[in-house]
Every structure is written in structure tokens, then in C-alpha cells.
Structure 1
């Protein structure tokens, strides 16, 4: 197999592995009945107690679902 093709195939495999792991983490943190509540509590505290986290959270997602918050000072 050509080295470039082999490298490309390895990168695709690694990307699939990372995506699968990210999906498993998402399921664990947001949908697992045992750990999702704890994660939601921690996430909520971070978002509302740390203005920098709040700013990042509101600016990394669509302004349709998260209205823009103006004049935050960290």
C-alpha cells in the first residue's frame, strides 16, 4: 500500500475512534441515569458561578438557542 494512502487510512481510523469515544462520553455525561445528574450539577455551577465559563458557553453556540449576554466582566 502506498505510504500516503496508508497514512490517510490510519487518520480516518483514528478519527472514527475519537468520534466513538466522544459519543460514549456524551452518553455517560448527559444520558446515563447515574452520572448525568452529577455532571449536570457541576456544569450548572461552572456556567453560573464563573463568568468566563458563561461567556465561552454562550459564544460557542448559536445565538438562537443562547441569547448574547453583553458587558460581562471577569
Structure 2
């Protein structure tokens, strides 16, 4: 049940953010009222730099993807 709830939450947020006029910070505020458990969790994430960690991981993925593309394009084809 928890996995289903998590999947549906992510799917719903994705749909909301796909709208042209969407704003991630407004969605966060709307979905996490000030006294909620979610706000506590988000505060810890912010304190620990989770956003920076995710961004760094994404950059590493892009860099590695470029490396693999160079290797594949340099590999002779039969």
C-alpha cells in the first residue's frame, strides 16, 4: 500500500508540474501545510542539501552518458 501511495503521489505531482503555468515551489507549499509531517521531512532534506546531492547525481549521469556516447561512436562497426 505504501508503494502504491508513493507512486500515485509522484504521478500526480508530475502531472501537475507538466502544466505550462506550474510552479514547483507553489506545489510544494500547497501540498505541505506548515504543521505537516511532510514539512518536517522537507526541512531535514533542505538542511542536509538533498537538492544539491540530486543535482550532482544528475550531472554525473549526464557526464557519463557523454563518455559512453563518445566510446560508442568511436567503436568501429562491422
TM-score (ref. length: structure 1): 0.38
Structure having the higher helix fraction is 2
Greater relative contact order (CA < 8 Å, ≥ 6 in sequence) = 1
